[in-house]
Amino acid sequence: MIDAVTLAVLKGRLEQIADEMDATLFRSAFNPIIAEAHDASHGLYDARSGDTLVQGKSGLPIFVGVMAFAVKAVIDKARLQGGDKAGDTWIFNDPYDGGTHLSDFRLVRPVFREIDGEQTVFCYLASVGHWHDVGGNVPGNYNPVATECFQEGMLIPPVKLFRDGELQQDIVDILSCNTRLPNSLYGDMNGQINALDLGEKRLHELLDEYGDREVASALAELKSRAADLMRARISELPDGQVGTEDFLDNDGIVDQPLTVALDLSVTGNRLTLDFSRSSKACAGPVNISRSTTIAACYVALKHVFDDVPANAGVLEPVEFVIPDDSLLSVTAPKPVGGYTETILRLIDVVFLAIAKLAPEKSTACAYGTINALSLNGHRANGQRWVMFSFFGGGHGAHASGDGLNHGNAPISTATIPPLEILEAAYPVMFRQWALRADSGGEGYWRGGLGAVYELELLEQQAEGFLFGERGRYAPRGIAGGAEAALNRFSYEQEDGIKEPPMTSKMVGIKLVKGQAVKLETPGGGGYGDAGLRPQALIERDRELGYTGSATSKPEPKSGRAQVNPGDIE
């Protein structure tokens, strides 16, 4: 039995390894989505099951959860080829086999140690990062009208980037020929390689200092404690079953809402998450794989039970019911490029279900869309440019206070790329970057405010696309709190201001110099009865311009009441 002090020290040292890997990639990546927004993650994974052992604190939690399935895919493929060897490193982006979408490239490396006289895999190190462009029909790859994965980018199964320590240049050549931005790809890939190199070095140092058996014992104990604490937290909830649902605006192809429904059951210290009532797989790219669904629920549960250590033990007392024909468990070639929108709705329904059992433990819905926006074109010298970015909004209120104004999505700890970086890298100028008054849901505690972003084109012409959500179904409040404002996107044309026919998704937006696009993002839902909100807080909100704006009133809040249940699969 490992003593408590040693366990705490090793826990810190192991987490530091993942944190250093995060920092290495963030400081060396070429593309701002990794370097500035931190759309990447690193972790340590079990040598046999692929289970998450340790995750970094700066990367995206959704990546850490889904990477357990990715590492298992590598383990299975290596077994078919006679097993891993020292010096191997795998690379792939398969979204159906432990992935998310094609933009997220994974590098997985076995770490070998001599145990009982034999070279044995002690664990796997993994790095995942969102590459700027990986081919496909639209620059930036969030193709909102894709109907199969081949329209979203190149799909690479698990292959060896390094074999016996030697870089496989033919793999690099294939990757480089399938991107509009080969220099960005090259820089990001090498940043991930360097992160793995440093992680392996630090792990060997730790194992040499404490011994393989001691560290392995610590990892097993951390997982066991996470599972025990999760069971204890579940047992604090009242037994019973509750159901809830939320909606996606559409899939980008068919203009009908899609249901994400959850029936949550608590029985003693076990939790069942049943998504059987959710819509079936759809034509457009808001489908996700089963592994992504489970990873999203992992993130949601960690929000609710935030004191439980972040490793695979979190999911031991949780059972999942996800039908094979669901939009939450698709296989190739169903498109999955907009997975972020669907996993945000998964987190929302977990929050809403928990709120029916124990509202004090939950949080109202956050703004619920990353609003993936891309503008691209050619500079005067002929050089191609591709701006891809995501944007923030308000977080939900909770039992302890108002929601966060202008935060990033709860799937991640990423940051919103600063406007100075975007303006320096691309021919755009921000006319506005501001809080959106009156966008948070009312309640005893108010939802956080969304934002207003307005970007003007400085080059002669460009084309763009938007992949968003929450244009018709507003973020909901809990415990009597109100909905937030809807998402709104508009763009300038010679004959006036236009909005997408499908509200939140559009390709082929043509701009000329001086024209702009504008995002008005949702706030978060409210918590509790707005009639009981202290007058001092109401007056403060008005003084700060958070509420009471005469010029920035949100659109009518939600189209939920207009839905014909017969229109929803």
Q: pLDDT for 383-413, tens place per residue?
A: 999 999 999 999 999 999 999 999 998 887 7
In tens, the pLDDT along 19-54 reads 999 999 999 999 999 999 899 999 999 999 999 999
Same domain, 367 and 222: no
Sheet of 40-46: strand order equals: 52-55, 40-46, 118-130, 104-115, 89-92, 159-163, 166-167
Q: What average pLDDT score do residues 154-173 get?
A: 97
Token digits for 520? 């008005």
The structural domain count of the chain equals: 2
Q: What average pLDDT score do residues 279-305 get?
A: 96
In tens, the pLDDT along 328-387 reads 999 999 999 999 999 999 999 999 999 999 999 999 999 999 999 999 999 999 999 999
- Does some domain include residue 251? no
- The 3-state DSSP class for residue 386 equals strand
Cβ pair 183, 385 in contact under 8 A: no
- Residue 184 pLDDT greater than 70, yes or no: yes
pLDDT of residue 4: 93
| DSSP per position, 307-326 | TS-SSGGGGTTEEEE--TTB
pLDDT of residue 566: 36
CA gap 74, 36 in Å, rounded: 29
In tens, the pLDDT along 432-484 reads 999 999 999 999 999 999 999 999 999 999 999 999 999 999 999 999 999 99
- Residue 423 pLDDT greater than 80, yes or no: yes
- Does some domain include residue 497? yes
Q: What is the mean pLDDT of the chain?
A: 94
Rounded to 5 degrees, φ, ψ at 158 are -60, 115
Q: Checking DSSP bridges between strand 258-267 and strand 372-378, what pairing results, if any?
A: unpaired
What DSSP character marks residue 253?
Answer: S
pLDDT of residue 65: 79
Q: For residue 228, what is the enclosing H or E element?
A: helix 212-235
- Does some domain include residue 320? no
State which of 172, 200, 227 marks the end of a domain: 227
Long-range pairs for 381-385 at CB < 8 Å and ≥24 separation? 384/180, 384/181, 385/426, 385/427, 385/459
CA gap 43, 162 in Å, rounded: 19
10 Å CB burial of residue 23 (0-12, 13-18, 19+) is middle
In tens, the pLDDT along 78-135 reads 999 999 999 999 999 999 988 899 999 999 999 999 988 889 999 999 999 999 999 9
For tokens 């409210």, name the residue.
Answer: 526
Q: How crowded is residue 177: how many other Cβ atoms within 10 Å of its Cβ?
A: 10
Q: Which of 440, 514, 525 is nearest to 480 (CA)?
A: 525
CA gap 59, 57 in Å, rounded: 6
- Within 370-523, where are the H helices? 419-425
- Within 270-313, where are the H helices? 290-304
User: Bridge-partner residues for 462, per DSSP?
Assistant: 511
Q: What is the pTM of this model?
A: 0.93
E strands within 25-173? 40-46, 52-55, 89-92, 104-115, 118-130, 159-163, 166-167
Q: What average pLDDT score do residues 312-336 get?
A: 97
pLDDT of residue 550: 45
State which of 201, 227, 253 marks the end of a domain: 227
- Does some domain include residue 199? yes
Token digits for 315? 């999911």
**What one-letter code names the amino acid at 168?**
Q
Q: Which of 136, 150, 70 is nearest to 108 (CA)?
A: 70
- Does some domain include residue 223? yes
- Per the structure, the complete domain to which residue 153 belongs is given by 4-227
CA gap 531, 534 in Å, rounded: 9
| DSSP per position, 478-516 | BTTPPP-PPPEEEEEETTEEE--TTSSEEEEEEEETT-E
pLDDT of residue 549: 67
State which of 203, 227, 251 marks the end of a domain: 227
10 Å CB burial of residue 320 (0-12, 13-18, 19+) is middle
- Does some domain include residue 326? no
CA gap 458, 515 in Å, rounded: 8
pLDDT of residue 560: 54
| DSSP per position, 12-35 | HHHHHHHHHHHHHHHHH-SSHHHH
Number of H helices, E strands in the chain: 10, 20
With bands split at pLDDT 50, 70 and 90, how would you rate the model's confidence at 559?
A: low
- Does some domain include residue 256? no
pLDDT of residue 336: 97
Q: What average pLDDT score do residues 249-274 get?
A: 98
- Does some domain include residue 530? yes
For tokens 């979204």, name the residue.
Answer: 95
Which residues touch 14 (CB under 8 Å, ≥6 apart)?
A: 44, 53, 54, 206, 215, 218, 219
What is the maximal distance between C-alpha atoms in the chain?
A: 76
pLDDT of residue 567: 38
What DSSP character marks residue 530?
Answer: G
Q: What average pLDDT score do residues 185-213 get?
A: 97
CA gap 98, 124 in Å, rounded: 15
Percent of the chain past pLDDT 90, that is, above it, reads 89
Cβ pair 367, 395 in contact under 8 A: yes
